[in-house]
Amino acid sequence: MTSTALLTDMYELTMVRAALHSGTASRHVLFELFPRRLPTGRGYGVVAGTGRMLEALRDFRFGDAEIDYLLKAQVADDALAEFLSGFRFGGDMVGYPEGELYFGGSPLLQVEGSFAEVVVLETALLSIYNHDSAIASAASRMTMAAEGRPILEFGARRTHEESAVAAARAAYIAGFGATSDLEAGRRFGLPVSGTAAHAFVMLFDTEEEAFKAQLDWLGEDTTLLVDTYDVEQAIRTAVRLTDGKLGGVRIDSGDLSTEVRQVRAQLDALGATQTRIIVTNDLDEYQIAALRAAPVDGFGVGTALVTGSGHPTCGFVYKMVAKASSDEPGAPMHAVAKKSANKNTIGGRKFALRRIDERGIAQAEVIGVDLAPRADSNDRSLLTDLVKGGQIVGDEPIQVARERHERVRAELPMNGRHLANAEPAIPTLILDEAGRPTDNVYQVGPAPTNL
Amino acid sequence: MTSTALLTDMYELTMVRAALHSGTASRHVLFELFPRRLPTGRGYGVVAGTGRMLEALRDFRFGDAEIDYLLKAQVADDALAEFLSGFRFGGDMVGYPEGELYFGGSPLLQVEGSFAEVVVLETALLSIYNHDSAIASAASRMTMAAEGRPILEFGARRTHEESAVAAARAAYIAGFGATSDLEAGRRFGLPVSGTAAHAFVMLFDTEEEAFKAQLDWLGEDTTLLVDTYDVEQAIRTAVRLTDGKLGGVRIDSGDLSTEVRQVRAQLDALGATQTRIIVTNDLDEYQIAALRAAPVDGFGVGTALVTGSGHPTCGFVYKMVAKASSDEPGAPMHAVAKKSANKNTIGGRKFALRRIDERGIAQAEVIGVDLAPRADSNDRSLLTDLVKGGQIVGDEPIQVARERHERVRAELPMNGRHLANAEPAIPTLILDEAGRPTDNVYQVGPAPTNL
């Protein structure tokens, strides 16, 4: 077990240090992690990171190595070092479950406890949610575009090696079928996939020898990469070597829409009617959608997935929204908000539900402030217990998150399925104290670039 | 020590498995890691990841836990498991040193050894170089735009928690002054920085109390965040509390160009002429350049840095360019290349130098194929030994890479300093066997989107 405690911005500890000395470190507070808005052009976002966050929380301890560093770097003084050496998060977390959708203003995670224990988690929480949700959001658009055809995740080489592991997990939640990343397979129990690269074909004196070697040791059901030299010739060889029983061919170059039809026609003409065609040439959700009419049996996606397909981060922020009126235990909480230009926050504890109509279609994200909105029979409450008094209670198998995502995405109205220049699929309604919708401050006006 | 061996795509192991059985696993090969081209609009790229790659190589071992997983997941059979359990890279690596610039076709890393040992590293090498060089390339544009004013790296919260650590390192190589990320501080010995967030100000009943607490425990030289409520009021308070000796103020919102001038005027009028102004509102290289005329003393950069400022990955590929003519030890090597549509490679071992004129200005990236280009007195050879016979020989302190970057960037011609819509600052010349320049296949024509 490696400590996650230094995956933290220095200012979190500087704040705790000053708060400890001034006696405010134990003030009871509530922070919320949320997006001010969806990225431009996106109809919805997908929550991911919850499971990884709970894992990181378990390992968020300052051991001797961490404390030594902080003292040596003069980040900590003795009082802070003493506080940190005993640190364990003892507060509460409530949040959206993994795989759920989100919209502008959705209160994805609420963290409650003493100021010191809540603020010190800021960077780690934001890193995990901002990354994993960006990947899941892109992945969901791709699986939606594929309309049931399988997508494999092949992006490890295009991103940081540990991001790659987390990206494979997020993509699986959003419906990807497997990953090429072995560490993701081991760590999260994901299905893994992969056969051969061009280099394998080039290693042999002829393409036929390379195909033979792969077929001998991986069986006829393997997928042969057919575009190292000449596609038509490669397919003739591959079909001949397998008597037409080849599992699949992979095409990684060229104009896929044309190429795939030619390959299908050639395979069928040679009697290899069951041979699958997998394509992998720098695909994104738009290219996947453009191949809807082409005889593609599966997609491999790399760069576009691991870079969030144009939106590599979600812009989630983590803000104090309520604090106790004094340092006394049990002092009442009241709303707080900052007012700086373009970056105001809405103070107070949020409650959230998705309004679902009688046909099962989502109508709105309804956010109550300091008051739970009234739920009709179809509505779904969105906040679930994750941590209670420092105990993790929100663990769940990744399969549950994957199934949840498929289920809740099916509730999107038709306009939530647009890929290009999408508007938010449903509005976010912020209710006032009397439960009436106010102006939706999180979705009005053009999206500013500052977070 | 955690093993890095599973940060690998499954197909690398599938290829080794088939190669072991067919007797080609020990064939001597040369792979090269290189960009086909620079990202559109970029004048140069910056090599980073070399140091992290050497570290990962040290830990690239398949222990019992890794082997067990591979057998259970049926990725490995017994022969592969036996090969992997004794695996240690025993070949050679030659490459561009860290901090060096690169251009389309630059042979950043050459890996030579048996097919099995060279191919199995593919994913880990690409992940590290593609990520770290993307960050360093963006960072270098920012430090160039800042013209000597310090930039701090504050991006941890916007990217995967481990990417953040690597990003801080890459940014430091490209001239950033410090990072907020404590783990990066510990792991790589980087300077760390950070004071307080809006939540700290909001924790107290008044802004004045918050400022007092911070000043009491961090001293007058600290930086106060002045835009939680009203900037003008905050500055009056801050200057009064420190008798004008405040170290700095940080502004994190609003139209910075206007805001900063007003703040400077107010500080000066109040006698706080030495107080520094730090700005941190979602900056990128363009905004930094736009603030050249404003009285800014330092920049904090987050999102744009850790997402590569529009180019989150470099598109480096790893291709076999030569192989031995037989499996006999000492068999001669010959060039190999794939010919698939739009994705051809140039076979043969590359040699690289930067042509520098008598004024010290870079003129071209000169690449010889199977032949070292003739170097004039000012020219710099670009390939250095990193690993010899499995022994790491290319380790160097990060400070050396940082100084190298500053030095070699200064050689760029004037047109290499464009930020917007830049063309490659110098051409890449690929020489033929006789040492004459050929058509530069890596930079001609529009940049295709496939990698």
Q: Which DSSP symbol is given to A253?
A: S
Give pLDDT tens digits for A286-327.
Answer: 999 999 999 999 999 999 999 999 999 999 999 999 999 988
Using alpha carbons, select from B350, B346, B347 the residue that is nearest to residue B372. B350
Predicted local distance difference test score (pLDDT) of residue A342: 59
Q: Which helix (H) or strand (E) holds A442?
A: none
Say yes or no for a CB contact (<8 Å) between B73 and A159: no
Q: Determine how many CB atoms are found less than 10 A away from the CB of residue A370.
A: 16
Mean pLDDT, chain A, integer: 94
Query: Coil, strand, or helix at residue A388?
Result: strand
The topology under which CATH files domain A146-310 is TIM Barrel (3.20.20)
- List chain B residues with CB under 8 Å of A216: 18, 21-22
Residue contact B196–A336, C-beta within 8 A: no
Counting one residue from chain A and one from chain B, the pairs whose CB atoms sit within 8 A come to: 353
Nearest CA among A246, A201, A249 for reference residue A219: A246
Q: Which chain B residue shows the shortest CA-CA distance from A161? A: B127
Give the residue from B61, B66, B121, B182 with the most A CB atoms within 10 Å of its CB, the best one to mutate.
B182
The Cα B224–Cα B277 span in angstroms is 10
Whether the per-residue pLDDT at A439 is higher than 80: the answer is no
Task: Give the gyration radius of chain B's Cα atoms.
Answer: 25
The answer on pLDDT for A172 being more than 80 is yes
Mean pLDDT of B307-314: 97
**Count of alpha carbons within 13 Å of A388, Cβ hemisphere only?**
5
Single-letter amino acid, residue B147: E
- CA dihedral (B16, B19, B20, B26) in degrees, to 10, reads -90
- Within an 8 Å CB–CB cutoff, is residue B28 touching chain A? no
For helices A10-22 and A78-85, what crossing angle results, to 10°?
Answer: 100
Helices A207-218, A231-241: crossing angle, 10 deg rounding: 40
Q: Give the pLDDT confidence of A83-123 residue by residue, as tens digits.
A: 999 899 999 999 999 999 999 999 999 999 999 999 999 99
Q: Is the Cβ pair A22, B303 closer than 8 Å?
A: no
Check pLDDT > 60 for residue A77: yes
Read off the pLDDT band of A451 (50, 70, 90).
very low
Confidence (pLDDT) at A441:
54
B395-433 per-position pLDDT tens digit: 999 999 999 999 999 999 988 888 998 999 999 999 987
Give the pLDDT confidence of A245-289 residue by residue, as tens digits.
Answer: 999 999 998 889 999 999 999 999 999 999 999 999 889 999 999
Q: Is B393 in CB contact (< 8 Å) with chain A?
A: no
- Report d(CA B451, CA B447) in Å as an integer: 10
How near does any CA of chain B get to the CA of A261, in Å? 16
The one-letter amino acid at A420: A
- pLDDT tens per residue across span B339-394: 665 567 899 999 999 999 999 999 999 999 999 999 888 999 999 999 999 999 99
Chain A interface, best mutation among B6, B160, B203, B305, by max A CB count within 10 A: B160
- Please check whether residue B342 touches A, CB under 8 A: yes
Nearest chain B residue to A119, by CA? B199
Backbone angles phi, psi at B131, to 5 degrees: -75, -55
- CA distance to partner chain A, nearest, from residue B172 (Å): 16
Write out chain B residues lying below 8 Å of A182, CB-based. 6-10, 13, 69-70, 73, 75
- Out of A2, A18, A70, closest to residue B217 by CB: A18
Q: How far is CA A276 from the centre of its chain?
A: 29
Q: What is the pLDDT of residue B448?
A: 36
Q: Is A153 on the interface with B (CB under 8 A)?
A: no
Tell me the Ramachandran region of residue B402: left when phi exceeds 0, alpha when psi lies from -120 to 50, beta otherwise: alpha
3-class DSSP assignment, residue A223: strand
Least confident stretch, A87-91, A217-221, A382-386: A217-221
Between chains, do A158 and B130 touch, taking CB under 8 Å as contact?
A: yes
**pLDDT at residue A327, as a whole number:** 83
Rounded to a whole number of angstroms, the distance from the CA of A362 to the nearest CA of chain B is 29
For residue B338, pLDDT over 60 is answered with yes
**What number is the average pLDDT over the span A224-239?**
96
Contact (CB<8Å) B73/A186: yes
Strand-pairing partners, residue A354, are A365, A380
Which residue in A has a C-alpha nearest to residue B31's C-alpha? A199
CB contact under 8 A, B14 and A218: yes
Task: Give yes or no for residue A217 having a pLDDT over 90.
Answer: no
Residue of A nearest to B7 (CA): A183
Q: How far is B55 from chain A (nearest CA, A)?
A: 13
Distance CA A70, CA B388 (A): 37
Average of pLDDT values for B118-129?
98
A7 vs B339: CB contact, 8 Å cut-off? no
Contact yes or no for B29 and A203 at CB 8 A: yes
Cβ neighbours of residue A86 under 8 Å, at least 6 residues apart?
none
Cα B321 versus chain centre, distance? 25
- CATH number of the domain at A10-135+313-347+380-429, please? 3.20.140.10
Strand segments, DSSP code E, in A204-274 are: 223-225, 248-251
Q: What are phi and psi of A96, to 5 degrees?
A: -65, 140
A7 touches chain B (CB under 8 A): yes
User: CB of A108 within 8 A of CB of A318?
Assistant: no
B408 contacts B379 by C-beta, under 8 angstroms: no
Contacts of A122 in chain B (CB under 8 A): 157, 197
Q: What is the pTM of this model?
A: 0.96
Give the pLDDT score at A440. 55
Sorting pLDDT into bands at 50, 70 and 90, what band is B449? very low
- Could you identify the residue written with the tokens 């498929």? A406
- Reduce the secondary structure of chain B to three states and give it as a string: CCCCCCCCEHHHHHHHHHHHHHCCCCCEEEEEEEECCCCCCCCCEECCCHHHHHHHHHCCCCCHHHHHHHHHCCCCCHHHHHHHHCCCCCCEEEECCCCCEECCCCCCEEEEEEHHHHHCCHHHHHHHHHHHHHHHHHHHHHHHHHCCCCEEECCHHHCCHHHHHHHHHHHHHCCCCEECEHHHHHHHCCCECCCCCHHHHHHCCCHHHHHHHHHHHHCCCCEEECCCCCHHHHHHHHHHHCCCCCCEEEECCCCHHHHHHHHHHHHHHCCCCCCEEEECCCCCHHHHHHCCCCCCCEEEECHHHHCHHHCCCCCEEEEEEEEECCCCCCCCEEECCCCCCCCCCCCCCEEEEEEECCCCCEEEEEEEECCCCCCCCCCEECCEEEEECCEECCCCCHHHHHHHHHHHHCCCCHHHHCCCCCCCCCCEEEECCCCCECCCCCCCCCCCCCC
Residue A123, both tokens: 């960077």
Closest residue in B to A28 (Cα–Cα): B203
Interchain contact, B9 vs A127, CB within 8 Å? no
Do the Cβ atoms of B194 and A14 come within 8 Å? yes
With an 8 Å Cβ cutoff, are A8 and B183 in contact?
yes
Structural domain boundaries in chain B: 10-135+313-430, 146-310
Q: Is B27 on the interface with A (CB under 8 A)?
A: yes
Please give the span between the terminal C-alpha atoms of chain B, in angstroms, as a whole number.
34
For A314, the enclosing helix (H) or strand (E) is none
- Residues from chain A that touch B131, judged by Cβ atoms under 8 A, are 159-161, 163
Residue A106's contacts (CB-CB under 8 Å, 6 or more residues apart) are A34, A35, A45, A96, A352, A365, A367, A382, A428
Q: How confident is the model at residue A450 (pLDDT cuts 50, 70, 90)?
A: very low
CATH class of the domain defined by B10-135+313-430: alpha beta
